[in-house]
Amino acid sequence: LLDDLDPSDEINACSIVVPAIVDGKEEPWLVMFKNETHNHPTEIEPFGGAATCLGGAIRDPLSGRSYVYHAMRVTGSGDPRRKVEETLPGKLPQRKITTLAAQGYSSYGNQIGLATGMVSEVYDEGFVAKRMEIGAVIGAVPAANVRRAAPAAGDIVLLVGGRTGRDGCGGATGSSKEHNEQSIQTCSAEVQKGNAPTERKIQRLFRDPAVALMIKRCNDFGAGGVSVAIGELAPGLEIDLDAVPKKYEGLDGTELAISESQERMAIVIDPADLSAFQKAVAEENLEMAVVARVTDTQRLRMRWRGKTIVDLSRDLIDTNGVQQENSVTVAAPAAGDNFFADTVLPELHAEKGSLKEAWLATMADLNVCCQRGLVERFDSTIGAASVFLPFGGKYQATPAECMVAKLPLIKGETVTGTTMSWGYFPRLSAWSPFHGAVYAIIDATAKIVAAGGNHRTVRLTLQEYFEKLGTDTEKWGKPFAALLGALRVQQAFGIAAIGGKDSMSGTFKNISVPPTLVAFALTAVDVRAMISPEFKKSGDTVVLLPVRRDSAEMPDFGRIDKTYSAIHSAIGKGAIVAAHTVRIGGIAEAISKMCLGNRIGFMFAGSFDTSRLFSPDIGSLIVELNDNSDFKKLFSGVETVTLGSTTDAPAIKIGAAVIAISEIEQHWEAPLEKIFPSKTPQLSVHCSSSVCTDRPIKRTHQARIARPKVCIAVFPGTNCEYDSARAFEKAGAEPHLFIMRNLSSADIDDSIQRMVRLIKNSQILMIPGGFSAGDEPDGSGKFIAAFFRNPHIKDAVTDFLHKRNGLILGICNGFQALIKLGLVPYGEIAPIEPSSPTLTFNTMGRHISRMAYTRITSVKSPWFAKVNVGDIHAIPISHGEGRFVAPEAHIAGLFENGQVATRYVDPDGKFTDDYTGNPNGSHGAIEGITSPDGRVLGKMGHSERKGDYVAKNIYGDKDQKIFESGVAYFQ
């Protein structure tokens, strides 16, 4: 049945062949996906462990030459609200683990430039034993760009990327260790040090078809380091450990042989390609070394300091070690603790005196409540390919249930994308690991169906996480039962798990993690047909399509298959405009979340049985029908239950109970607000009513240029170069990437000369977003600003602006650099005074990624020639230091001179001090400013992250036409 598999001797990640539509034509692409756990390192060093979880997940599909463009994070924690005094000896507080882990994973993802489309944390006291930290990623590449060839004697093996250190030793074996009270002191050295900018450079290197086609075979430096990464590449190998680049001296042969890393690749090429490959590596500011040669000896040999320290027969290696066996005893689920028979949220029993109280308690449950403060620290928009953002609707309040993104093109357009979801219920799995696995896959599949995907084309990858098993047959019975449950549903649906990972060390003294099988589901989709879960308009009929269970609590797979097929067909016909699964909080949770995004109310039908409101009917779906849809025809032969209809009134009405949407939102947002804040303190935006309607002076005194050239400056840490180049190319310009090289003083001198030449030959200079030099030390953009203050570059920029009338654009990190240079607001590279405007840390105190509404307040700049004062746009923001600060007199002057180009507003277009209207707390609600003549523009919002079907669940105009305006200035 698996006719889309991509067979290969390289097993880097799950890989399928997708017939993609690119610029209207079909071409085969490879889609690769992978899940990765770093439970052990995250438990003892949360920031580094979670950061390298993502880096480790990326490196697998990257070694397959695919470009990783979408990520998901699913984690498990104890209650982070518990007092520090309740922390177990030898453990970190749950609050510290979960907050630092979120910082670590988001730091790595935000720096490397990877859109994290879904972030979910599951809460269960079993995870106090050891945290669960899972990252899942998706990569894609045109099939024509991947060459897979058998290495031949004489081929060479290259090590490309970061250097080797002791921090990569012991990570693999550490992940299988049982923790004790000393682990937090003794195991920290096993946590790797991530380097996202270096892995970003490898991504750019592999994305070049000329480079990718030189690669015969590639392996990432995962567990085992050189021993495995190189040892798996060919039957016969001679490895020179002295040639391995080191972070520092003093490493012995064993350390060099086993150290793993996120930012290194082992690559087999023909020696004839060495010169060309070395040149490409140098252009990407990467290091490379020849560390091994392929032989015909059928032996793996390693040499260190002139001695052979490893000499193994390939026949021995191919035995895969000693086979082990253990008996299993599978226990039946406890009849007296039936997950489905009991109310899943026990607090909803008799002590809750009314339906309204029970409803609000459901929304405040830790596994139902809002996780916005956690989710929005992860960049979800980079790549300009995210079809859904994590929260949708006009008010960005309805959580998406799966992530969807278009395939990552460098040029052109596509309607082909992928969707990924997850499923897992710890309390259900604790009752029965078998049922837990069944419903994990059903839940993951149902989410894809609700978004418009086809359940019959789903491919799975599974993550298992269980207690320390030892030789106990009953303990072994838990993962065995879970795998049987997973197999049962795969056979029923005709889908398969084509990858996965396990971790069997979740025990601390006398407590263990809940039995865990997390199902990740993926399928290719036509992004035009995907729908988001927020209610779209009032007056629509809303229908429940239930899943029935038998006496053994097993679902009717035939009914599910027929129901899901009918839903997929109805979505394709446009008859269903929104859909949501039923999960732990039952119908109450689903209806509430569908209402929140657009603040559309709901009225239940008078005949509805309220006893079903809080039932965990996992796999059931709720759908909103177009007002002209005949659901009886759409779902002929499928059971349906009419729930009611959407209304204009912002409330949910059921019988005599009326629950305001605002009240639901308040209870839903409160539980995690102190752990992951989602609201800014009250502040004054110093709102001025000044606007400038003067149109920019047209460039008429020089020859017109049909395709103006754009120099896009790429520094170590830059990650928006592709999005920026695509935006300019689509607008009619000719973008050129300048990659700053700094591995030696000669590289820096060469970079200065190249930058000067590019500026002289360009009409537009752009500094895109990212994390230059990791935004350290002491603030973002300083590294870029220091480079531009070089006298040669400063003179070139001055000539560019004042003699050649060039345009400069800086977005996010680029805006930070422009403001540190003085190019905004002064229009020239100038000394910065203490009273000069600056960009500082968001009032929220964390990174913020969401859509912000901005209003055009001045069209004095050529960059805004194609919009009007008062126009409102929905623009992605993703930054930690975007708060514009300046003395009030200075801000007043900027307004008076028409230099304030764009300002933050709320979804209704009003200036406000609320987070929804001014997310970073900028003075004057300022989002973008210009130089006095308007030709230099700096702004925080990522106007380059736009495209067809991008952010479909966000409402409003998303194109400020900045790039088209800039290009038109020269035409």
Token pair in block for residue 91: 């453990």
Instruction: Count Cα atoms within 13 angstroms, Cβ side, for 314.
Output: 15
Q: What is the DSSP string of 710-748?
A: EEEEE-TTB--HHHHHHHHHHHT-EEEEEE---SSHHHH
Phi and psi angles of residue 543, each rounded to the nearest 5 degrees, phi first: -125, 140
Cα dihedral sign, 336-342-344-348: negative
In the three-class reduction of DSSP (H, G, I as helix; E, B as strand; rest coil), residue 884 is classed as strand
Beta-sheet strands, E only, within 367-494: 391-392, 398-399, 403-406, 416-423, 459-465
812 is annotated as an active-site residue? yes
Phi and psi angles of residue 570, each rounded to the nearest 5 degrees, phi first: -65, -35
Whole-angstrom distance, CA of residue 858 vs CA of residue 934: 10
Whole-angstrom distance, CA of residue 271 vs CA of residue 970: 47
**What number of H helices and E strands is found in the chain?**
28, 39
Q: What's the burial of 89, exposed, middle or buried (CB within 10 Å: 0-12/13-18/19+)?
A: exposed
Contact of 624 with 577, CB cutoff 8 Å: yes
**Could you tell me how far CA 339 lies from the centroid of its own chain?**
32
Token pair in block for residue 385: 């390919």
Q: What's the burial of 382, exposed, middle or buried (CB within 10 Å: 0-12/13-18/19+)?
A: buried
455 is annotated as an active-site residue? no
Q: Which are the contacts of 946, defined by CB distance < 8 A and separation ≥ 6? A: 384, 727, 958, 959
Token pair in block for residue 780: 């973002």
Could you say which of 464, 553, 944, 964 is catalytic? Answer: 944
Could you say which of 812, 847, 879, 881 is catalytic? Answer: 812
Instruction: Please tell me the chain's helix, strand, coil percentages from 3-state DSSP, rounded to the nearest 5.
Output: 30, 25, 45
What is the phi-psi region of residue 27: left when phi exceeds 0, alpha when psi lies from -120 to 50, beta otherwise? beta
Token pair in block for residue 255: 């350390």
Whole-angstrom distance, CA of residue 322 vs CA of residue 69: 38
Whole-angstrom distance, CA of residue 635 vs CA of residue 232: 52
- Cis bond before residue 93 (omega within 30° of 0): no
Q: Which are the contacts of 215, defined by CB distance < 8 A and separation ≥ 6? A: 65, 147, 206, 267, 268, 269
Whole-angstrom distance, CA of residue 964 vs CA of residue 947: 13
169 is annotated as an active-site residue? no
In the three-class reduction of DSSP (H, G, I as helix; E, B as strand; rest coil), residue 211 is classed as helix
Whole-angstrom distance, CA of residue 441 vs CA of residue 557: 12
Could you say which of 40, 667, 923, 942 is catalytic? Answer: 942
Which positions are annotated as active-site residues?
812, 942, 944
